[in-house]
Structure 1
Amino acid sequence: MTTTATTLKGQPLDRPALDSMLRRRMFYTPAFEIYGGVAGLYDYGPPGCSLQANIIDVWRKHFVLEEDMLEVDCSVLTPHEVLKTSGHVDKFADWMCKDPKNGEIIRADHFVEEILESRLKGDKEARGQKVEEKEEDPKKKKRKAKGVQEAVKLDDAVVQEYEEVLAKIDNYNGEELGELIKKYDLKNPASGVQPSPPVAFNLMFQTAIGPSSNLPGYLRPETAQGQFLNFSKLLEFNQGQVPFASASIGRSYRNEISPRAGLLRVREFLMAEIEHFVDPEGGKKHPRFHEVKDIELVLLNRTTQLSGKTHVEKISIGKAVADGIVDNETLGYFMARIHLFLKKIGVDQSKIRFRQHMANEMAHYAADCWDAELLTSYGWVECVGCADRSAYDLSVHAKRTGAPLIVREQRAEPLVVEEWEVELNKKKFGPHFKKDGKTVEAAVLATTQEQREALAKDLNEKGSITVEVAGVGDGKVEIPKDLITIERRTRTEHVREYTPNVIEPSFGIGRILYALMEHNFWTRASEGGDEARGVLSFPPTVAPTKVLIVPLSSNEQFRPICYKLSQRLRKLGISSRIDDSSATIGKRYSRNDELGTPLGITVDFQTVQDSTITLRDRDTTKQVRADEDKIIAAIQSVVDGSKEWKDVEAELPIFEGQEIEVATR
């Protein structure tokens, strides 16, 4: 599948022009810029904040409201013990190399990827093939400037080998990345030397809680742990019913080794995460799966990647689950719902795929995971992860704290259980084993049903049993018959207890926001020969501002009409801006096309006479004219998504009176 970046209108994406426009119009800007800035930290300006808020609003309605989720807002500061138990302290890491000559810190997988891609690019140039440009982060540019890869033709076998390595680059561990660096003699072009072997670098920001600094903690790397720790309270709030889902939107923090690609790899970011708790019995079915089973998704499974290929398959989610490509209905249901959400906010449908994680890249808690990846000028970028976390998190936190993070439900029919039970003579057991008593007791109680059956036989035949107990004597302990009883007994269970499994969709809002801006950017040529104007064709539901109100001139008669229209729209919850600057009406519209404003109202002298106004569409620049009530109703229907511009155009009279001014901007 090609990685060529194009705009909404099929033009090649001019990323420098887009980045310049986004910063000029203050969608986002480097944080602390007047102090030189800090890599991986960005501030959002007014349109960026509005766009982000609107994406979150659609997310809440699409997931929290429609799925009846329980939203929580948990603490960012997290004690060390919580993240030690969850596995993040030991396992939440990326692989890092250091250049021994210039001291540059390099992320190992990115380094291997960049050098091999550079060699493949040189091969294509040597073969006279067209080369597609990908991302150019500052550090990569610097390395290239000092050591540009020459156009050298490679053997076909080497090309295939490089492509296979790149197809499964996310699956290599640190040792394997180090072997690749040595095998292919990969050197940092900036220094001409090979970097040191990769070492694990934990991505969490460490801190201390309290003035005495004796309670170590971290800024959370995800919002999930707070949801797991509140599971029992959420279950009670939900009247003990499973399945149910919690949701959380908030900041997370990761100390990235080499932040790059603007908003795509940052150290502080907004996440929206869902934890869907489900009964593991019954194959994790979902009651609403039938509603989405016919939705087709583009899938890149792990088997294809491990074969060194990136071929995708378009398949209905119902068939993917039935064929075992996607593990279960609940995982498949949320993958389809993620697809629908991305479509709703305006993501280009030709630039979405779901990629399955390979074994080595799988998070330590995940049993299966699919990433919703969006194609940008930087290549395919993970924007949403959908993981089956099994019962990992609730189990480890329950074991560490003793808290009952389980579901108890009354059985419809009592369950009769026949099993081997162990009973210890506590009066004699402790004095007999003295200081080793608790260790021996734990070993006995940890025996399986099969082991207990064999031990019961030994107890009856030999009068004693031998149990393996690590750390006591020679590792084997004999227990006489008078200290223990092992019998087959029957009990009746009226209540079932189980630890639910968790399906977790996790959204990186900043990455989605950036991909949305790339997917909806295009340029409109001007007839006067001026520089082409950028346009952001956001859907009205997420556009930062919905309506621009433009008075035809600075005539004082227009001012109260504009103010009245603005107030009326705001009372309906529709954001608007008045642009009464001295620029031509065409230039005023163009400036707001850059901001993604979908609709524009023009107030002119005819408005003063008969209260009619024009309504302009951003993408087509076409206009209709009608009285104020009809125009407001049309705006409301477009903004809430019940109608499109073509519907408005079919219902209201076409207006061409200001086309000349619009065309000559």
Structure 2
Amino acid sequence: MAPEMTTLKGQPLNRTAVDTLMRRRFFYTPTADIYGGVAGFYDFGPPGCALQANIVETWRKHFVLEEDMLEVDSPMITPFPVLKTSGHVERFCDFVAKDSENGEILRADHVVEEVLEARLKGDKEARGQKVEAAAEDGAADKKKKKKVKGKVEAIKLDDAVVQEYTEILAKIDNYDGPGLSELFEKYDIRNPNTGNKFKMPVYEQNLMFDVTIGGARLPAYLRPETAQGQFLNFSKLLEFNQQKMPFASAQIGKSGRNEIAPRSGLLRVREFLMAEIEHYVDPESGKKHTRFHEVEDVKINLLDGKVQLEGKTETTAITIGEGVRTGVIDNETVGYFMARIQLFMLRLGLDPAKIRFREHMENEMAHYARYCVDCELLTSYGWIECVGCADRSAYDLSCHTKATGVPLVVRETRQEPLTITEYVAETTKAKFGPRFKQDGKAVQSAIDQLTEEVKEKLSLELKDNGKITIAVPGVGDGKVELTSDLIKIEQQTRTEHTREFIPNVIEPSFGIGRIFYSLCEQVFWTREGAEERAVLSFPPAIAPTKVLLVPLSSNPDFKPMIAELTKKLRKHHLSSRVDDSGASIGKRYSRNDELGTPFGITVDFQSLKDNTITLRDRDSTDQVRATQDEILEALVKLVHGTETWSQVYERLPKFEGQELE
């Protein structure tokens, strides 16, 4: 079970309070809300759009600009053959379970998690109840049952059962279909919404939205990821990069996944914004990274795959360099991006104690991945995957090369020519075609797949016997005889002046919506006073609005200076809002603390006399007073991160007052 979620100030987090705030202040709202909405779809309002745009802008600066990546933009609608070739048509699925009575379909692993976690919570409730009862009447050994909040029933479990449940939850992502079905049967997993049993076994359901194109209604899908558009353009990207390797491409765009019964707000939706990187490397380079030395001291919290298989969830604090040297992290390029992901999360204002990297177990690995680690963020829903960092090897480029006949390869001149001696199998085309007719392609394919060792052995056999036999599935009895007039296998020597290879790909894939929501929870806290007031402590660079302009009153004399300040802030690309309502200054500030606005400027009658204004810090509520130019200079530095509030508060005159109800 995930640790209890707390606010930025260490207070117990109230998820309902966060969600209510986000909807009330129109960060987001259910799509088509006035029609009742549709699960898994959300609209973003003005502060939500601004926050999302700032996260994306920070991502683009942190990765695309810093790493000289080549950005592309491809359509959401992807032709059927592309996703058939990539394996998504057959294998982009989740295991689901169907309610035996009402037919409700739920994601199988999520049901197991929900039911077992509810039982563990009930056990905790029961153990707490037992302690109290023992103090009252000495009934230390008496089992007690009590209904508690929600669907949790307080009932004590055996210690061995608690251990079993904990171990299952630690490795829940590693269960395949039969394994999940066994859990349903063994632990009597029922629909938490109805109490009904599920039909067994669980089965797979594809997550892609299928669509058709044009009058011919050509089959297609909404892309489930932005990666394929990058792979299909690999040759063009390589040419644009002047044939230089390694390099990376990037794409930011919407994707769609037809999630099974989506819940958890923005954390599991059916249309979402992704930001993906495809870093192409030479497989013979050992996946080294030239800038690895810059990040090897970055420390992360790592949850090893082996630890999960032992039924545990303890993380280890480790540097990226140590992880790669010991083999806990697969290679330098994966390690480099893990470090860069960690630094990006910190730049957004996320708590390092609420960031972890979890290595995938073998059974949960995506069909295209040979290694994968997720960056997970702690939320009130538990640890949530927000970034996947996968080694896709040469899977995608190889598949598309084979399907289209277009070589998605790198060709480079060798510094020294390479002499290669190998056995070559050549068929006599004039006789081979007439002999095998429609089976010729299958036979030729079997010949092409012969290994060097097998070809050497067959060469001797052909020389001694004048014929050989090879396996050809689907032709005759599965074996085909080839005589010396149909094939020759001889050792040949050739010199290569160029090298041709299909790159391997390291892919960091970011779910922007999940990062958005996780950030909102982690920066949320309440200011205590006469009444609790919510605050969102976004870093200045990320905040939807940077500055609140507050005239002391509705006196028209303040309007020219407010207009002047707005113009100056706009010139410095600092977003601002004016609140000239009749509410007190304190309430106006409080309303914008809810929006995460980091700074507030107050214009009062003193401002009209000497051109000075006050600048308020959202988190501390401390204020300074100085000239317009001095305050604007401070704001630019604060938002760009070249100066901190404590530095500003130290050098500019302090101001007391105006924080009134």
Note closer, same or farther for the CA distance 1:580–1:158 as it changes in structure 2 (3 Å cut): same
The reply on whether 1:455 has 2:458 as its aligned counterpart is: yes
Q: Determine the structure 1 residue equivalent to 2:263.
A: 260
Q: Determine the structure 1 residue equivalent to 2:44.
A: 44
Q: Determine the structure 1 residue equivalent to 2:136.
A: none
Instruction: Map 1:221-240 onto structure 2 (within 5 A).
Output: 221-240=224-243
1:563-585 CA distances to partner (integer Å, 9 max, x unpaired)? 01101110111111111111111
- CA–CA distance in structure 1, aligned partners of residues 272 and 443 of structure 2: 50
The reply on whether 1:211 has 2:215 as its aligned counterpart is: yes
1:12-63 CA distances to partner (integer Å, 9 max, x unpaired)? 1122222111111101111101000100110000000000000000000000
1:457-477 CA distances to partner (integer Å, 9 max, x unpaired)? 112111222222223333322
1:193-214 CA distances to partner (integer Å, 9 max, x unpaired)? 311121111110011111231x
- CA–CA distance in structure 1, aligned partners of residues 207 and 13 of structure 2: 33
1:573-630 CA distances to partner (integer Å, 9 max, x unpaired)? 1111111111111111111111111111111111111111111111111111111111
Which region of structure 1 is more displaced relative to structure 2, 480-489 or 217-226?
480-489
Secondary structure of the residue aligned to 1:569 is: helix
**Percent identity, aligned pairs only?**
65
- CA–CA distance in structure 1, aligned partners of residues 246 and 342 of structure 2: 22
Whether the 8 Å contact between 1:124 and 1:130 is mirrored in structure 2 is: no
Q: Determine the structure 1 residue equivalent to 2:137.
A: none
Q: Determine the structure 2 residue equivalent to 1:387.
A: 390
2:557 maps to amino acid: Q
Q: Determine the structure 1 residue equivalent to 2:138.
A: none
Whether the 8 Å contact between 1:383 and 1:511 is mirrored in structure 2 is: yes
Whether the 8 Å contact between 1:3 and 1:377 is mirrored in structure 2 is: no
Note closer, same or farther for the CA distance 1:263–1:652 as it changes in structure 2 (3 Å cut): same
1:451 maps to amino acid: V
2:556 maps to amino acid: E
- CA–CA distance in structure 2, aligned partners of residues 207 and 433 of structure 1: 41
The reply on whether 1:427 has 2:430 as its aligned counterpart is: yes
Note closer, same or farther for the CA distance 1:565–1:447 as it changes in structure 2 (3 Å cut): same
* Aligned-residue RMSD, C-alpha: 1.7
Q: Determine the structure 2 residue equivalent to 1:617.
A: 617
Q: Determine the structure 2 residue equivalent to 1:572.
A: 572
The reply on whether 1:495 has 2:498 as its aligned counterpart is: yes
Which region of structure 1 is more displaced relative to structure 2, 432-441 or 325-334?
432-441
2:312 maps to amino acid: K
Deviation at 1:482, TM superposition (A): 2.4
Whether the 8 Å contact between 2:391 and 2:507 is mirrored in structure 1 is: yes
- CA–CA distance in structure 1, aligned partners of residues 194 and 45 of structure 2: 38
2:651 maps to amino acid: E
Which region of structure 1 is more displaced relative to structure 2, 119-128 or 575-584?
119-128
Secondary structure of the residue aligned to 1:395 is: helix
Secondary structure of the residue aligned to 1:602 is: strand
- CA–CA distance in structure 1, aligned partners of residues 150 and 580 of structure 2: 53
Counterpart pick for 2:444 among 441, 445, 449? 441
Note closer, same or farther for the CA distance 1:116–1:27 as it changes in structure 2 (3 Å cut): same
The reply on whether 1:251 has 2:258 as its aligned counterpart is: no
Whether the 8 Å contact between 2:579 and 2:588 is mirrored in structure 1 is: yes
Deviation at 1:426, TM superposition (A): 1.8
Deviation at 1:232, TM superposition (A): 0.5
Q: Determine the structure 2 residue equivalent to 1:181.
A: 184
Counterpart pick for 1:372 among 369, 372, 375? 375
Q: Determine the structure 1 residue equivalent to 2:205.
A: 201
Deviation at 1:129, TM superposition (A): 7.3
Note closer, same or farther for the CA distance 1:130–1:261 as it changes in structure 2 (3 Å cut): farther
1:306 maps to amino acid: L
Q: Determine the structure 2 residue equivalent to 1:593.
A: 593
Q: Determine the structure 2 residue equivalent to 1:541.
A: 541
TM-score, length-scaled by structure 1: 0.95
1:340-360 CA distances to partner (integer Å, 9 max, x unpaired)? 000001111110000011111
1:83-128 CA distances to partner (integer Å, 9 max, x unpaired)? 1111111011111111122222221111111111122122222211
- CA–CA distance in structure 1, aligned partners of residues 609 and 82 of structure 2: 69
- CA–CA distance in structure 2, aligned partners of residues 146 and 185 of structure 1: 22
Q: Determine the structure 1 residue equivalent to 2:524.
A: 521
- CA–CA distance in structure 2, aligned partners of residues 238 and 307 of structure 1: 45
2:358 maps to amino acid: R
Secondary structure of the residue aligned to 2:308 is: helix
Secondary structure of the residue aligned to 1:74 is: coil
Q: Determine the structure 2 residue equivalent to 1:128.
A: 128
2:213 maps to amino acid: I
The reply on whether 1:604 has 2:608 as its aligned counterpart is: no
Q: Determine the structure 2 residue equivalent to 1:139.
A: none
Whether the 8 Å contact between 2:548 and 2:599 is mirrored in structure 1 is: yes
Q: Determine the structure 2 residue equivalent to 1:171.
A: 174
- CA–CA distance in structure 1, aligned partners of residues 272 and 345 of structure 2: 19
The reply on whether 1:64 has 2:67 as its aligned counterpart is: no
1:204 maps to amino acid: M
2:482 maps to amino acid: I
Secondary structure of the residue aligned to 1:488 is: strand
Instruction: Map 1:190-339 onto structure 2 (within 5 A).
Output: 190-197=193-200, 198-213=202-217, 215-339=218-342
Which region of structure 1 is more displaced relative to structure 2, 57-66 or 453-462?
453-462
Whether the 8 Å contact between 1:370 and 1:387 is mirrored in structure 2 is: yes
Q: Determine the structure 2 residue equivalent to 1:135.
A: none
Note closer, same or farther for the CA distance 1:106–1:440 as it changes in structure 2 (3 Å cut): closer
Which region of structure 1 is more displaced relative to structure 2, 195-204 or 330-339?
195-204
Note closer, same or farther for the CA distance 1:477–1:32 as it changes in structure 2 (3 Å cut): same
- CA–CA distance in structure 2, aligned partners of residues 607 and 361 of structure 1: 62
Deviation at 1:130, TM superposition (A): 11
- CA–CA distance in structure 2, aligned partners of residues 193 and 627 of structure 1: 69
1:510-552 CA distances to partner (integer Å, 9 max, x unpaired)? 01011111111111123xx2x3111111000100000111111
Whether the 8 Å contact between 1:293 and 1:318 is mirrored in structure 2 is: yes
**5+ residue gaps, structure 2:** 132-146
- CA–CA distance in structure 2, aligned partners of residues 130 and 515 of structure 1: 36
Deviation at 1:506, TM superposition (A): 0.5
1:71 maps to amino acid: E
Secondary structure of the residue aligned to 2:383 is: strand
1:257-308 CA distances to partner (integer Å, 9 max, x unpaired)? 1111111100010000000001111210000000000111100011000000
Whether the 8 Å contact between 2:545 and 2:597 is mirrored in structure 1 is: yes
- CA–CA distance in structure 2, aligned partners of residues 481 and 11 of structure 1: 82
Corresponding residue pairs, total = 645
- CA–CA distance in structure 2, aligned partners of residues 189 and 472 of structure 1: 53
Note closer, same or farther for the CA distance 1:435–1:47 as it changes in structure 2 (3 Å cut): closer
- CA–CA distance in structure 1, aligned partners of residues 565 and 411 of structure 2: 57
1:570 maps to amino acid: R
Whether the 8 Å contact between 1:101 and 1:191 is mirrored in structure 2 is: no
Secondary structure of the residue aligned to 2:317 is: strand
1:545 maps to amino acid: T
Secondary structure of the residue aligned to 1:544 is: coil
Secondary structure of the residue aligned to 2:621 is: coil
Note closer, same or farther for the CA distance 1:308–1:624 as it changes in structure 2 (3 Å cut): same
Secondary structure of the residue aligned to 2:333 is: helix
Which region of structure 1 is more displaced relative to structure 2, 146-155 or 539-548?
146-155
2:199 maps to amino acid: S
Secondary structure of the residue aligned to 1:600 is: strand
- CA–CA distance in structure 1, aligned partners of residues 426 and 2 of structure 2: 67
1:289-341 CA distances to partner (integer Å, 9 max, x unpaired)? 00000111100011000000001100001000111111000000000000000
Secondary structure of the residue aligned to 1:9 is: coil
- CA–CA distance in structure 1, aligned partners of residues 41 and 362 of structure 2: 31
Which region of structure 1 is more displaced relative to structure 2, 187-196 or 243-252?
187-196
Deviation at 1:440, TM superposition (A): 2.5
Whether the 8 Å contact between 2:535 and 2:593 is mirrored in structure 1 is: yes
